[in-house]
């Protein structure tokens, strides 16, 4: 099995994609707006992907957080609020905010599960700071580590109740980045002691089976390599101090924070200790080269992948999200009432 998650070019599999995916047997797939037209089309696509592998327990992933980060868009799907809405409520009513985050995540997960999506790269556990770049911005669940951990735990729990596996991202923390890693490489010069704040939320949820790295240089730990490509950060910080032993994905390996060819980036990430290359752009040449260079995943990676499979729920035949959304909205309305 190729230790990679691959993108898909359009709303249906091409003949070339179908043949390649069957031969390469990647760990899974990621969907974007180009793959999400309506419920019927998405279910056909995800059913096709699972049929290639002959199993339902397959990573079919998406970024569906709410706010700016939503691949499945209105009017076909409901709009969901960004993390900041729950952060504001937490400041006046923590228990209500935790419940609102949980039911919101469960509603998202039920929509995802209905169309065959099994993994949502949600929630960001990045601690927001005054200088945090807008790439995180209102996606963050707060600026206090334990608040982020509490709301993040609620999101993961809500996802699980809806049958979908959530994700810890972006380890070891994206909150101090002052630039967008999609476009350039952020460098964080905070001290080791200061960075304890950033890793604290991840440590609280370290037992979760799925996580994602950050394309950020942390000079206190490795002044030459971003976390995704740093064995020091992955082994000593993510696996060591955070204590995360789940499946570790790279952030999108195509992002401009990284240099070199896509296959070379993937090779460096695996060598540093990442388990899975996340290759989003659906470039067939890149995907073929990755599959040729890495036809087999490590045994430890396979074990971690199986833990993710075990956390997946059954696909529903129908959804009932109206009550969940109504409960969320009633809770979020407390923020306006307190203003």
Q: Which residues belong to the active site? A: 182, 251
User: Token pair 């959804």 is at which residue?
Assistant: 319
Q: The tokens of 4 are what?
A: 């990679």
Q: Where are the beta strands (DSSP E) in the chain?
A: 2-7, 26-31, 59-62, 64-66, 69-70, 119-120, 168-171, 187-188, 210-213, 217-218, 247-249, 277-279
> For 18, what's the count of Cα atoms within 13 Å in the CB-facing half-sphere?
11
CA–CA separation, 100 vs 91, rounded Å?
13
Cβ burial of 15 (10 Å; 0-12, 13-18, 19+) is exposed
Q: Which of 136, 249, 138, 154 is nearest to 205 (CA)?
A: 154
Strand partners, 219: none
Cα–Cα distances in angstroms (integers) from residue 194 to residues 176, 191, 213, in the given order: 10, 5, 19
Q: Which of 13, 22, 16, 29 is nearest to 52 (CA)?
A: 22
Q: Phi-psi category of 318—alpha, beta or left, where left has phi over 0 and alpha has psi -120 to 50?
A: beta
Is 125 within 8 Å of 152 (Cβ atoms)?
A: yes
By three-state DSSP, how is residue 165 classified?
Answer: strand
CA–CA separation, 113 vs 317, rounded Å?
9
């Amino acid at each position: 099995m190729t230790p990679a998650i691959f993108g898909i070019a359009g709303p249906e599999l091409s003949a070339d994609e179908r043949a390649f995916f069957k031969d390469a047997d990647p760990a899974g797939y990621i969907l974007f707006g180009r793959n999400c037209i309506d419920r019927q089309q998405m279910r056909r696509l995800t059913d096709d992907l699972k049929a290639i592998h002959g199993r339902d327990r397959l990573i079919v992933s998406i970024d569906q957080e709410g706010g700016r980060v939503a691949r499945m868009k209105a009017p076909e799907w409901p709009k969901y609020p960004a993390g900041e809405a729950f952060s504001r409520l937490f400041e006046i009513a923590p228990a209500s905010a935790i419940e609102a985050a949980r039911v919101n995540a469960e509603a998202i997960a039920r929509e995802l599960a209905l169309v065959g999506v099994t993994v949502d790269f949600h929630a960001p556990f990045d601690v927001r700071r005054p200088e945090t770049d807008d790439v995180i911005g209102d996606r963050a669940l707060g600026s206090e580590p334990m608040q982020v951990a509490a709301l993040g735990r609620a999101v993961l729990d809500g996802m699980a109740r809806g049958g979908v596996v959530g994700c810890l991202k972006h380890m070891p923390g994206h909150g101090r980045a002052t630039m967008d890693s999609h476009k350039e490489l952020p460098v964080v010069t905070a001290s080791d002691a200061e960075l304890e704040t950033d890793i604290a939320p991840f440590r609280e949820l370290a037992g979760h089976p799925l996580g994602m790295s950050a394309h950020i240089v942390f000079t206190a730990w490795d002044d030459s390599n971003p976390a995704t490509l740093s064995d020091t950060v992955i082994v000593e910080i993510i696996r060591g101090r955070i204590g995360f032993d789940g499946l570790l994905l790279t952030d999108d390996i195509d992002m401009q924070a990284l240099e070199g060819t896509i296959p070379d980036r993937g090779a460096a990430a695996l060598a540093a200790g990442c388990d899975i290359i996340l290759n989003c752009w659906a470039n067939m040449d890149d995907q073929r080269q990755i599959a040729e260079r890495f036809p087999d995943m490590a045994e430890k990676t396979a074990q971690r992948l199986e833990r993710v499979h075990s956390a997946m729920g059954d696909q529903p035949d129908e959804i009932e999200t109206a009550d969940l959304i109504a409960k969320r909205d009633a809770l979020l309305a407390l923020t306006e009432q307190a203003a």
